[in-house]
């Protein structure tokens, strides 16, 4: 049932070589919406689970970004998460919505154009937590990539005063009152269960998600002897200039494709 597509509606594509669909799929009893992109050309491709940042309409899945990845030779599935764009349930923040990502992965596993065993997880900003959690829960991912990614939810609460009200509303309170709830949403504590190689991309001047998130992730992965590569950009913030952004996206796609299957 999880990952089963309920309906699939064609969506206008800005690229004549890429098909786009709005899909509704099952995720643990809820109907979840997402965007699916697939190259039109014959053949099979790596699958990419694209995990958006933000919450609600902030940081929503962008068609242009999904098409960029699909144009690099990926079938891309980007869940909107529960409670968004007509999907059922209430949006969580790296909580129960992790299962929407896992269910979306089933769509890629069952897709006729996805090469068996070749699925990657990519997360931007809040999506970084989601990508890491998906790698912890799903043992067969080829790679996990975080770009400007959150890795520590307590650190997010400390650093982002503007997000505290939202975090208290979604999670139920402060880290001091509910430390277990924040810890459950922090993948740093479960990285021993992660098998896939990790690529970390982060702007050192990032004020939305400080580079400390990346440093903590890299440090913990190295302590555990896990494969990790880091690309730090000293001069950039949370958002890269368009040309650098496109070049980095192309390079990370090449990096993902060269990684071997997980056994």
Point out the catalytic residue in the list 121, 125, 134, 210.
125
Comparing C-alpha atoms, which of 64, 40, 41, 62 is closest to residue 53?
Answer: 62
Structure tokens at 104: 């979306």
pLDDT tens digits, one per residue of 86-140:
888 888 888 899 999 999 999 999 999 999 999 999 999 999 999 999 999 998 8
- pLDDT value of residue 109: 96
Which secondary structure element, helix H or strand E, spans residue 134, and what is its range?
helix 126-137
Selection from 116, 56, 47 nearest residue 92 by Cα: 56
**Domains identified in the chain and CATH numbers:** 42-49+86-258 (3.40.50.1820)
Residue 59: is its pLDDT beyond 60?
no
CB count within 10 Å of CB 186 equals: 22
Residue 213 annotated to the active site: no
Q: Assign 3-state DSSP to the chain and report helix, strand, coil percentages, each to 5.
A: 35, 25, 40
Share of the chain above pLDDT 90, in %: 87
**Is the pLDDT at 58 greater than 90, yes or no?**
no
Instruction: State the average pLDDT for the chain.
Output: 94
Of the candidates 250, 253, 52, which has an alpha carbon nearest to the alpha carbon of residue 149?
Answer: 52
Write the pLDDT tens digit of every residue in 228-243.
999 999 999 999 999 9
Total-model pTM: 0.95
């Amino acid at each position: 049932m999880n990952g089963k597509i309920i309906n699939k509606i064609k969506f206008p594509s800005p690229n004549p070589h890429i098909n786009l669909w709005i899909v509704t799929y099952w995720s643990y009893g809820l109907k979840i919406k997402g965007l699916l992109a697939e190259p039109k050309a014959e053949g099979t491709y790596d699958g990419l689970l694209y995990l958006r940042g933000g919450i609600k309409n902030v940081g929503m899945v962008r068609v242009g970004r999904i098409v960029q990845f699909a144009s690099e030779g990926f079938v891309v599935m980007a869940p909107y998460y529960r409670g968004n764009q007509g999907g059922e349930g209430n949006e969580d923040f790296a909580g129960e919505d992790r299962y929407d990502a896992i269910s979306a992965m089933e769509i890629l596993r069952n897709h006729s154009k996805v090469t068996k065993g070749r699925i990657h997880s990519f997360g931007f900003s809040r999506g970084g937590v989601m990508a890491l959690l998906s790698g912890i829960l799903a043992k067969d991912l080829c790679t996990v990539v975080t770009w400007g990614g959150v890795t520590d939810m307590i650190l997010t609460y400390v650093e982002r005063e503007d997000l505290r009200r939202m975090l208290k509303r979604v999670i139920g309170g402060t880290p001091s009152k509910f430390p277990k709830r924040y810890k459950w949403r922090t993948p740093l504590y479960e990285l021993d269960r992660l098998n896939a190689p990790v690529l970390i991309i982060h702007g050192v001047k990032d004020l939305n998600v400080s580079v400390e998130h990346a440093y903590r992730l890299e440090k913990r992965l190295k302590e555990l002897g896990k494969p990790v590569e880091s690309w730090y950009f000293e001069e950039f913030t949370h958002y890269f200039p368009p040309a650098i952004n496109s070049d980095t996206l192309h390079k990370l796609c090449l990096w993902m494709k060269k990684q071997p299957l997980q056994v």
